[in-house]
Structure 1
Amino acid sequence: MPSSLLFIPDISGYTRFVQSTEIEHSQHVIAELLEVLLEANTEDLQLAEVEGDALFFYSQGAIPSQERLLAQMETMFTAFYSHLKLLEKNRICPCNACATAPDLKLKIIAHSGDIQFLEVGGTRKPFGKQVIEAHRLLKNSVESDNYVIISEALASNIGITVNYSSKIYFFKHGRDLYDENQLDYIYSIIDSDKLTLNTFGKHNEVAFKRKADYKLVKDFPIKAEALLEYITNYSYRSNWVKGVDDFRFNKNEVTRLGTEHLCVINNKHLNFVTVTKKVEKGSFVYGEMTTEAPLIDRLYQFYIIKPIN
């Protein structure tokens, strides 16, 4: 059987990120990034498993060319860092998870060899020596959290050496010892500043030349950050918004500028998009807008939270 490709994109800093941030939001951020990497799978690699903060792909009996493999890696790095930029640009949540998400990094391990398969509960998974080696390469001596590693076996298959260089790739030799077995590889540290990131539209900040039509002021005996979470996390909406039959939203997404949710009232659907406006320094603001309210062109509602003490 021809050699197969083993391909592992792994989010660096995940353990530290989860341990030091709000758990629910950190889980949402990681889930979003894994989805982004899945969508960036341009080589139609097979997904064997989601391994916490990593994706384990393989291509049985086929290895992409040097050009296609490097392009696949670059595509994933571009998608990953573009999404981090989106999270940073459109963030409304002040929690540590959302604030530190842009510090996450990405590493990709690529290996090749003959693989066997194990079927458990109807799921077919690669296993064998090469699978073990690919995962061991995640624990390496590269002095960075942002890189690609191509094993010596794969480098030989696709004909790439340390002499190869491009706008983002500058390879070096690497070598590590695992259980007294030596694994050689080439690696390139990736400079995210050299990636051509995707562009996004302007964030949804609005301004008004008149005062609000309705205004309600109320004190809550709770921390401002916690109150903002209850307002912006749509899973809580049914507890305090009455008269709505259903709320529909992406449960794996942290609310930010541009995110949407749907209110179903008497079989009518109102789609809201998250917006913001300037408020007094030290205050938090969450806003949403719909163009589907009866008799109104646009309906805006803002929640401005000002800490009392």
Structure 2
Amino acid sequence: MGIFRHQKKNLAPQVPAVNGSDNTQPALIFIPDISGFTKFVNETGLETSRSLIADLLEIIIEANILDMSLAEIQGDAILFYRLGPPPTVQEVINQCKQIFIDFQNYLKIVERDQGSEAGASLSDSRLTLKVVVHYGRLSITQIREHIKLMGKNVIIAHRLLKNNIDGDEYVLLSEDYLQTQPEETIKPNFSWSRLHQGSTFYEHLGEIKYRYAFLTPLRLLVTTNRPMQQKNKYARVFSASATIDAPTGFVLRILSNFRLKPAWVLGMSKVHFDVTKANRIGISYKCDLNRGQIDIQTVQSFIGENEIEYVEKISNFRIFPNAFLFYHLRSAGENRTRLDIKFHYSASIVGSYIYSFFIRRRLKIFLGKSICKLKALCERMYQVHPR
């Protein structure tokens, strides 16, 4: 979904100074791979497929929110790396979600274009993504203006693309990466999918253990109701923050309560929903907003020990056809909550000039005033019912 924030891409990095006596450095190795690539090219022909594949590879590169460096493009796969300490599981999973949803959104948009050869050919294709995540020491060699990653861990990451997993749509996390993370933080980040154990034996490398999760449940987040426009130079995220004098659990109950939405969402007058199914993951409801109506669907609720993430998908939003609201809540002291609201979108149907001077300003005002109203509502209700 680019639904997440724009990042500066490291496409031609200089070789950094090594920090190990063996000329190696610790790094995250991250490889998104297009499944079904060879079959698609063979069936559609190079002339039809090459522009689509190029666009898909660019979508993956643009979805880089971990500030990784791009080492090389290898046909249907992209080799990213990031030197230094490993990112958290939550950061890695958010990166995988970003890439997968952006990728699938683009496919759906092209498939809907029945006037193009690529769109017609996609109706029977099985193009999708798998992602391999590994961590270990590697060496970097510069050859003219290019860099080359070398070492056993680079080989392991590439070999893990061929494994015993029965499917083509998953994220694979090597045991070497997972061992860098506190065990208790791993499973909670997979509330949206089941985490499986796996291993594959490779000649000269032995048995490599890993865990994996299928990305298929994320298809729920794919939106197809609008055409994609040209890339925008602006960051595709707006945010607002507030510190609320109420516990995190209490704030979550208020912001996720459908009935209370009109009390704090600026311009919202009424909510229509099935009272027998309210507050369930995957349930949609309609909201009268200003002079129109939007659909909101709860798609994720992750409650961790120190942090809560609540995600809503917004459909039929006239200006931003594919948008999400991310609510991040964390404790800011006894009975206090730090709330960050982020509005992510993948495309806007207005031109850049209008977008710059009008739409951005209005959306910032909308988020700012809404979070202020939510803060006041939570604090007022908590004083009356402190539970």
Same fold at TM > 0.5: yes
SS at match of 2:190: coil
1:183 maps to 2:183? no
Q: Paired residue for 1:40, among 51, 63, 69? A: 63
Please say if residues 50 and 56 of structure 1, whose CA atoms lie closer than 8 Å, have aligned partners that are also in contact: yes
Identify the residue that residue 264 of structure 1 maps to in structure 2. Answer: none
Q: 1:1-309 to 2 correspondence within 5 Å?
A: 1=19, 3-94=26-117, 98-100=121-123, 103-160=126-183, 163-164=187-188, 166-180=190-204, 181-192=206-217, 194-198=219-223, 200-201=225-226
TM-superposed deviation, 1:160: 4.8
The secondary structure found in structure 1 opposite 2:197 is strand
For residues 28 and 168 of structure 1, do their structure 2 counterparts lie closer, same or farther at Cα, with a shift above 3 Å needed? Answer: farther
Cα deviations by residue, 1:105-133 (Å, 9 ceiling, x for unpaired): 10000000011112212322211000000
Q: Indicate the SS of the match to 1:157.
A: coil
Instruction: Report if the CA contact (8 A) 1:84-1:102 is conserved.
Output: no
Distance 1:53 1:47, change over 3 A: same
Cα distance per residue 1:122-169 (max 9 Å; x no partner): 322211000000000000010000000000010111235774453533
| TM-score normalised over the length of structure 2 | 0.49
Q: Which moved more, 1:73-82 or 1:155-164?
A: 155-164
> What amino acid is aligned across from residue 130 of structure 2 in structure 1?
K
Alpha-carbon distance between aligned partners in 1 of 2:223 and 2:38, rounded to the nearest angstrom: 27
Give 5+ residue unaligned stretches, structure 1: 204-309
| Separation in structure 1 between the aligned mates of residue 181 and residue 126 of structure 2, nearest angstrom | 32
Change (3 A) 1:80 1:174: same
* Distance in 1 (alpha carbons) for counterparts of 2:27 and 2:106: 30
Letter in 1 for 2:95: Q
Count of residue pairs the alignment pairs up: 204
Tell me if the contact between 2:114 and 2:120 (Cα under 8 Å) persists in the aligned partners: no
Cα 1:170–1:55, aligned 2, differ >3 Å: closer, same or farther? same
Separation in 2, partners of 1:128, 1:40: 26
Deviations along 1:264-300, one digit per CA (max 9) or x if unpaired, are xxxxxxxxxxxxxxxxxxxxxxxxxxxxxxxxxxxxx
Q: Which runs of 5+ in 2 are unaligned?
A: 1-18, 20-24, 229-387
Residue type of the alignment partner of 1:154 = Y
SS in 1 for 2:49: helix
- CA deviations on 1:173-195 (whole Å, 9 max, x unpaired) are 11000015110000011115544
CA distance in 1, matches of 2:118, 2:109: 16
Superposed CA RMSD in Å reads 2.4
**CA drift at 1:36:** 0.6
Structure with higher Rg: it is 1
Letter in 2 for 1:118: T
Could you give the per-residue CA deviations for residues 237-290 of structure 1, whole angstroms, max 9, x where no partner exists?
Answer: xxxxxxxxxxxxxxxxxxxxxxxxxxxxxxxxxxxxxxxxxxxxxxxxxxxxxx
- C-alpha change, 1:193 and 1:114, in structure 2 (3 Å) is closer
The structural deviation recorded for 1:61 is: 1.6
Q: 1:172 to 1:3 in 2, by over 3 A?
A: same
Determine helix, strand or coil for the equivalent of 2:44.
Answer: coil
Q: 1-side partners of 2:73 and 2:79: how far apart?
A: 6
| Residues 102 and 75 of structure 1, relative CA distance in 2, 3 Å threshold | farther
TM-aligned CA distance change 1:101 to 1:3, over 3 Å: farther
Q: Distance in 2 between matches of 1:34 and 1:202?
A: 19
Aligned-pair distance for 1:93?
A: 2.4
Matched letter for residue 185 of structure 1: Y
Corresponding residue SS for 2:148: strand
| CA–CA distance in structure 2, aligned partners of residues 155 and 173 of structure 1 | 12
CA distance in 2, matches of 1:97, 1:17: 12
Could you tell me how far apart the structure 1 residues matched to 2:118 and 2:69 are? 35
SS at match of 1:44: coil
Secondary structure of 2:221's partner? coil
Overall identity of the aligned pairs, in %: 33
Conserved 8 A contact 2:134-2:177:
yes
